[in-house]
Structure 1
Amino acid sequence: MSESSLESASEMSARAKRERKLSGKMLIFLQIAALVATLWFLVWPRLERHFLLQAAEQNEVTLRLVGDSIRAALDRYAPLPHLIAERPELGMLLQEPSRSNLIDITNSILLNTALSVSASDVYLMNTAGTTIAASSYHKTRSFVGRNFNFRPYFKQAMEGELGRYFALGTTSGERGYFFAAPVREGAKILGVVAVKFTVDAFEDAWRSAASNIIVTDHNDIIFMASNPEWLMRATKELSPNVLKSIEENQQYPLERVTNLEVTHTFLSSATDILTIEGTSFVGSSDEMSKAPHWTVTSLVPIKPAQFQALLALIVFSLLALISILGIAFLRHRTAQQIRTQKLLERRVKERTAALSHEIEERRNTEEELRRTQATLIQAGKLSALGQMSAALSHEFNQPLAAVKSYAENARAFLDRGQVDEVRDNIGRISKMADRMAAISKHLRNFARRPQEAVGPVSLLAVIDDALAVSEPRLKTSKVVLKYERPEQEPFVIGGHVRLQQVIVNLISNGIDAMNGEGLLELKVISTQNGWQINMRDHGVGISPDAIAQMFDPFFTTKEMGKGLGLGLSISYNIVRDFGGNLWGKNHSEGGAEFGVDLVAADHLSIKAVE
């Protein structure tokens, strides 16, 4: 065979070898692509549903809060008409409507009453439905002289019942809820007194929340909403009889009552996916069984949940891909080792030293590769944490419980006519709402450094506020809190709201650790460099594994659904921002002990900070 023929055969053999190698790589690529596609097809629907149900579970908290706030407002105003109707001046004016001095006195009484109970309007009507005195007597658009006998609340009151109705005011143009009660002289009904309160404050508060809130009446018409574009719109087709009733009662302007395009997709027994004019939400509803028979619905956009599901699926896919590549690498390494071993067998005597050096270098390379892979995986995990942590806001429960407690106290004081105590409790609720807004601003502490100024604060004032927030939960449990209040007034470097969060979280963890029953001890101890808040429970203590990880984000020993594992991590970062230290250990006599070491501050500088 000629030399040219030998060269041609060698080239063809090399080309065939390269083609087989390329074909093998393409087959591996196609197999990996098919595996990833199958993974996405099977896992994505389940993963998306999981995160949507998580969003629905968080949405339930918002729904309960909104429903409770509406019920509290209705319960607060319901007794007022009966109380006002007992004023003798109202009955006297209804019997002698021409006495001008009596009109002036009644107008002043109604105005002062409206101001004291934060009502929009309080007004008195005769049996014909004409207003003869009102808190708005001095306004341009006064209720005085206007007739409201077409309103259902007037008709109900004239029948001796408590009148209730929600409508758009024909005089003021403001949406409001009306309560009405008869004014009697013995068994005879002389007229009707009505109280109106507006709902704008509810909607203003809802707009700052992550959820969209709508409230519909028994006709499925949206009369309260965080989105103004949904107001006065019906979520289903209205019958002619319903439209006629709305027109007769002048409840809403008929030209504004239009249909809102809403479709429902089943998610779970308590939750649906609602698509409103092209935008999808996770929706949870609370139907008020008692009057006024409203339905409160909280809507959370599904896109954040879908993004979390997508992010988790991408991370999972990357881990699967790394595993596949690792297996391929190991197979390749094994084949290479076999070839190397055969070569070593032929040259073992002359290359022993060089082979030992080569093996050592190979081991170092493999170790470096493992460390690099571990670093990449950790970086991916931290990136996911950074994306997810800013959306977590589980620290609201304790302040909200305090708000509810103050509201119930206010209602009790109101029933007894103790207006000053009612005003004090309302003030407390307002302060607690401000504090909740401040807490919300700092829920991102885990994802980035907070911007709140740090300075001298009164430690006793912080502890008092934290105990006030935790009091409702302590009352509902069987936990006894023993607090040794120091005689000296300690001042430390920190932030009032965030330091209060730390103490509330430690109290809550102590209650959970003892399953809601036992003794919880809180002490304030003077240290060499400052002050220490010492919290000890009498539970089962902390396991060795938990001690090593308890300040890690998303680590929790609680059952699924009862904790996110962020409380101690956020608290740890807060205390570090103050230059202090948060630690935990098992107490020698049983249970767990947590300490918050804080830097002492000069109390003379407190006034400057305030």
Structure 2
Amino acid sequence: MARTTRKSVYYTLIVVVVAATMLLFLGAVSYFRSIEIQEAGNRLSLYEKSLSDGLERFQHLPYVLARDAKVIEGARGIGLDQLNVRLRGFAEKAKLEAVYLLDSFGTAIAASNFGTKSSFIGQNYAFRPYYIKAMRGQTGEFFGVGTTTGRPGYFISEPILDAWGAAVAVIVIKLDMSGLERAWVDAGEKIIVSNDAGIVVLTSHSQWLYKTLVALTPEQRINIMNKRQFGNQPLDLLDWKKTDPYSAYIGDQRFIHVTGAADRLGWDVHFFQDERRIYERAALVSGIFGLFIVLLLVFAVFLRSERIRQALAVSQSDRHKLIIANKELRNAQKELSQSSKLAALGQLSASVTHELGQPISALRNYLAAAEISGHITSEKTLLNFSNVIDRMDNLTRQLRLFIKPGMEKFEQFDIGDVIDGAMALVGHDIDAAGIKMDCSSSGQKALVFGNKLRLEQVVVNLIQNSIAAMDGVEDKALNINTEIIDSDVVVSVRDMGHGIGIKKLDELQEPFHTTRASGTGMGLGLSISAEIVKDHNGRMTAENLSKGGCVFCIYLPHSDTGDQS
């Protein structure tokens, strides 16, 4: 019985919440609709003003041109070539599509577009209303598609009067209104400008252009044809429908629709705004209300789950202790594994040096025999073979560090020779990786006492690590700098790679420790390098750079006095 009562309460609450949400949604739709209508009216006023400003901007210009001395002379047939150039200058300065002069018969005798394929010169425009009105002594204005260019425009005309006040010619300017339409398109607006016959003359959507908002009568169509106002456009009816004072459909989409009258030509401006925003905002408000109810339910569930959490606290504590014990066990296993790695490294080093020692000695003997017998006649080839064998022999000797560390033959030399030798080995790798290389020094002779080949191996290892660290980096740069600081010669290798992360240098120097992908490194390089630097009474540091990458520094005692102790 109690369970049935509880279910009834739940169902009642759900019905109440849903009903309240629906009522809130309907109220929000009504409210936001009134807001959107007001905003649409404000934007309509803005576009009405921009249209009126565009039409009013050049109203004075034909009046000024009609009183220009050169234009008046042109009306008499004098200096037409010079007038063409002058009109072109007017059009370019004022950014007009065209300026042209019509004689008393309506034929263009001068034009700013002279010399072009679409020149107005020689064309007769006596049928245009702006010409007829100007010949009556009045200012004319007209919007239509150009019969010569096929481009629509706004025409303003002014009569040129003789001494008795009679019109003897007409000066006309043509404005291109497409810039205004592009501005509407860029703003993402939906705007229609219709003339007094309901024909769309300007719009943000080209598919609506030259459609009619109302059906034209036969008399209207004949009048439009006589004026050639819209060329061969069919003037079909636009697929739209007005549903109430502030709503209209275009096709299947419903819009808020507001309209206002322009200042000239009897035009009307129509502004359409998508109604989806109203429902989106109403849905948002309703969603917030529903979310609030959900949060209340979640809070109730949280209180119940809190009691359950407290009951689990004891078991979680035991689990934590178990995690700590497992961590200690893993650490112990890690230490054991490290010891095994060191032992394996010693065995591996002994095996490699033993197995490669005899073949290298034999190869050296074969080379000597070939030199004596004269089978190798090129000294350069002989020297290259000898250098390769010496390097192989030196590498096997380095592995003996992990068997019986000891001093190799030390001598005094310039650390720059070590840098040059390392670059000779890895220069091709640097070029292949597309790395910008920079070697610099303080200019002082940096002498050290040690084994040149072993130190060269250290620098080679650091450069190879830097090349690997910059894999996938766009701006690759590597800098090797040599300087003397106090009593030390310091060699720094700086790259723009991924850095060493949060790892310490001691971790990176452990045998078999590597940050590279499996199969690209054994993790012995830094371990061997650290041992070599120690044998030279030096030290090695590493740190991340603030702008990315890291720098490894090798500190070696400066042997400027020739002291070999």
TM, length-normalised to structure 1: 0.47
SS at match of 1:141: coil
The code of the aligned residue for 2:259 comes to S
Aligned to 1:283: 257
The code of the aligned residue for 1:226 comes to S
CA displacement, residues 438-473 of structure 1 (integer Å, 9 cap, x when unaligned): xxxxxxxxxxxxxxxxxxxxxxxxxxxxxxxxxxxx
The one of 130, 133, 142 equivalent to 2:119 is 142
Task: Please tell me whether the aligned partners of residues 214 and 224 of structure 1 are also in contact (alpha carbons under 8 angstroms).
Answer: yes
Regions of 4+ moved over 6 Å: none
SS at match of 1:292: coil
Q: C-alpha displacement at 1:46, in angstroms?
A: 2.4
The one of 14, 17, 39 equivalent to 1:33 is 14
Task: Please tell me whether the aligned partners of residues 85 and 193 of structure 1 are also in contact (alpha carbons under 8 angstroms).
Answer: yes
The code of the aligned residue for 2:104 comes to T
Confirm whether residue 260 of structure 1 aligns to residue 217 of structure 2. no
CA displacement, residues 196-247 of structure 1 (integer Å, 9 cap, x when unaligned): 0011101111111142121111111111111111100111212222211111
CA distance in 2, matches of 1:255, 1:175: 12
Task: Please tell me whether the aligned partners of residues 246 and 254 of structure 1 are also in contact (alpha carbons under 8 angstroms).
Answer: no
Task: Please tell me whether the aligned partners of residues 91 and 190 of structure 1 are also in contact (alpha carbons under 8 angstroms).
Answer: no
Task: Please tell me whether the aligned partners of residues 55 and 264 of structure 2 are also in contact (alpha carbons under 8 angstroms).
Answer: no
Confirm whether residue 295 of structure 1 aligns to residue 268 of structure 2. yes
The code of the aligned residue for 1:166 comes to F
Aligned to 1:233: 211
Given the superposition, is the C-alpha separation of residues 42 and 257 from structure 1 closer, same or farther in structure 2, using an over 3 Å criterion? same
Given the superposition, is the C-alpha separation of residues 259 and 29 from structure 1 closer, same or farther in structure 2, using an over 3 Å criterion? farther
SS at match of 1:156: helix
Question: CA-atom RMSD, angstroms?
Answer: 2.7
Confirm whether residue 308 of structure 1 aligns to residue 289 of structure 2. no
Q: C-alpha displacement at 1:25, in angstroms?
A: 4.3
SS at match of 2:181: helix
Counting only pairs closer than 5 Å after superposition, residues 42-81 of structure 1 correspond to structure 2 as: 42-81=23-62
CA displacement, residues 271-297 of structure 1 (integer Å, 9 cap, x when unaligned): x12211112222222212x42121112
The code of the aligned residue for 1:265 comes to T
* Structure 2: stretches of 5+ with no match in the other structure: 314-565
CA distance in 2, matches of 1:164, 1:215: 17
SS at match of 1:84: helix
Deviation larger for 148-157 or 59-68: 59-68
SS at match of 1:207: helix
CA distance in 1, matches of 2:117, 2:57: 29
The code of the aligned residue for 2:186 comes to S
The one of 132, 153, 166 equivalent to 2:143 is 166
Aligned to 1:203: 181
SS at match of 1:129: coil
* Structure 1: stretches of 5+ with no match in the other structure: 1-16, 334-357, 365-610
Q: C-alpha displacement at 1:31, in angstroms?
A: 1.7
Confirm whether residue 223 of structure 1 aligns to residue 201 of structure 2. yes
CA displacement, residues 391-417 of structure 1 (integer Å, 9 cap, x when unaligned): xxxxxxxxxxxxxxxxxxxxxxxxxxx
Counting only pairs closer than 5 Å after superposition, residues 104-503 of structure 1 correspond to structure 2 as: 104-186=81-163, 187-266=165-244, 272-288=246-262, 290-323=263-296
The code of the aligned residue for 2:199 comes to I
SS at match of 1:317: helix
Q: C-alpha displacement at 1:30, in angstroms?
A: 2.7
CA displacement, residues 495-550 of structure 1 (integer Å, 9 cap, x when unaligned): xxxxxxxxxxxxxxxxxxxxxxxxxxxxxxxxxxxxxxxxxxxxxxxxxxxxxxxx
Aligned to 2:491: none
Q: C-alpha displacement at 1:62, in angstroms?
A: 2.7
SS at match of 1:66: helix
Task: Please tell me whether the aligned partners of residues 210 and 300 of structure 1 are also in contact (alpha carbons under 8 angstroms).
Answer: no
Counting only pairs closer than 5 Å after superposition, residues 542-561 of structure 1 correspond to structure 2 as: none
Q: C-alpha displacement at 1:361, in angstroms?
A: 7.0
The code of the aligned residue for 2:152 comes to R
How many residues are treated as equivalent by the alignment?
309
CA displacement, residues 155-208 of structure 1 (integer Å, 9 cap, x when unaligned): 111111110111011111111100000011121211111000011101111111
Given the superposition, is the C-alpha separation of residues 239 and 142 from structure 1 closer, same or farther in structure 2, using an over 3 Å criterion? same
Given the superposition, is the C-alpha separation of residues 40 and 252 from structure 1 closer, same or farther in structure 2, using an over 3 Å criterion? farther
Task: Please tell me whether the aligned partners of residues 59 and 211 of structure 1 are also in contact (alpha carbons under 8 angstroms).
Answer: no
Instruction: Indicate the structure (1 or 2) with the bigger Cα radius of gyration.
Output: 2
Task: Please tell me whether the aligned partners of residues 284 and 299 of structure 1 are also in contact (alpha carbons under 8 angstroms).
Answer: yes
> What percent of counterpart residues are identical?
24
Deviation larger for 82-91 or 175-184: 82-91
TM, length-normalised to structure 2: 0.51
The code of the aligned residue for 2:162 comes to E
Q: C-alpha displacement at 1:321, in angstroms?
A: 4.9
The code of the aligned residue for 1:214 comes to I
CA distance in 2, matches of 1:161, 1:25: 87
Confirm whether residue 82 of structure 1 aligns to residue 55 of structure 2. no
SS at match of 2:186: coil
CA distance in 1, matches of 2:6, 2:148: 79
SS at match of 2:123: coil
CA distance in 1, matches of 2:229, 2:275: 34
Task: Please tell me whether the aligned partners of residues 265 and 273 of structure 1 are also in contact (alpha carbons under 8 angstroms).
Answer: yes
Q: C-alpha displacement at 1:329, in angstroms?
A: 7.9
SS at match of 1:259: coil
CA distance in 2, matches of 1:248, 1:88: 34
CA distance in 1, matches of 2:33, 2:310: 50
The one of 88, 91, 100 equivalent to 2:72 is 91
Task: Please tell me whether the aligned partners of residues 197 and 216 of structure 2 are also in contact (alpha carbons under 8 angstroms).
Answer: yes
